[in-house]
Amino acid sequence: MSKNAISNSVIRRLPRYYRFLGELEKKGCVRISSRELSEKMGLTASQIRQDLNCFGGFGQQGYGYNVKELRGVIGNILGVKMNTPTILLGAGNLGKAIATIDFCKRGFNLIGIFDVNPELTGKTIGNLEIRNTTELESFCEEYKPIAAVLCIPKASAPETAERLISYGIRAFWNFSHYDLSITHNNVIVENVHLGDSLLTLSYGLNSLEYDSEE
């Protein structure tokens, strides 16, 4: 099976499947039908069957999916056990909040936090000490991080990203409000635009107002 065959919209749904199946497993649920799963997730049963067929034939007619097995397979596709060494740049409020996310459960291992502000140097977030950005290059040489979380201002994002790529970074989780478009081979970016998400809510509310006026 080639992974390239999985469409982007299925990929976007995988983390949600993984999360829901995890909650079911915690509750001691062993098997679930596509109908039950669809009700919990707000998708149609046929969409779930189609999605899960992309990774091979799970579930049997009238028998349902084995929750633990299916979660394991999706977890492997998502790479949750990769434990990729990861650094975070920018220890402001957002950086501090992001640093407390459980990276390990999601395939990453946060090993360093950096900030340009020397007053933050030596302070800790969780069990990690904040380092000054001047240490970045030597840190990367020694610990070889592969992923970087950017919680830095928009203006410094493009230059910082280029520098990090030259230090060996190949994956960016980018909160910097700047669409990183990486032209390098084998480098990937997940841009998070919280403002776009807020605009989507605004659209929804605007549509509600519109509908109720009709």
Chain positions 30 to 49 lying near a second copy, rule: CB under 8 A, are: 42
Q: Which residues contact 203 (CB under 8 A, 6 or more apart)?
A: none
Q: Which of 43, 54, 101, 182 binds a second copy (CB under 8 A)?
A: 101
CB of residue 171 to a second copy, shortest distance in Å: 5
Query: Which one of the spans 29-37, 65-73, 131-139, 205-213 is the region binding a second copy (CB under 8 A)?
Result: 205-213
Residue 168's CB is within 10 A of a number of other CB atoms, namely 12
Query: Which one of the spans 56-64, 72-80, 113-121, 129-137 is the region binding a second copy (CB under 8 A)?
Result: 72-80
User: Between residues 61 and 119, which has the closer beta carbon with respect to a second copy?
Assistant: 119
Query: Which one of the spans 29-37, 44-52, 55-63, 77-85 is the region binding a second copy (CB under 8 A)?
Result: 77-85
What pairs with residue 114 in β-bridges?
89, 131
Q: Which of 102, 119, 159, 213 binds a second copy (CB under 8 A)?
A: 102
According to DSSP, the β-strands at 188-191 and 65-66 are: unpaired
Site string for a second copy, 171-190 (x = CB under 8 A): xxx-------x----x-x-x
Q: Do residues 131 and 116 touch, judged by C-beta distance below 8 A?
A: no
User: Between residues 139 and 173, which has the closer beta carbon with respect to a second copy?
Assistant: 173
The CA-CA-CA angle for residues 167, 8, 182, to 5°, reads 25
Reference 173, options 105, 83, 63, 99; nearest CA is 99
Chain positions 129 to 148 lying near a second copy, rule: CB under 8 A, are: 146-147
Q: Which of 93, 124, 127, 183 binds a second copy (CB under 8 A)?
A: 93
User: Between residues 29 and 134, which has the closer beta carbon with respect to a second copy?
Assistant: 29
d(CA 189, CA 33): 35
d(CA 5, CA 40): 27
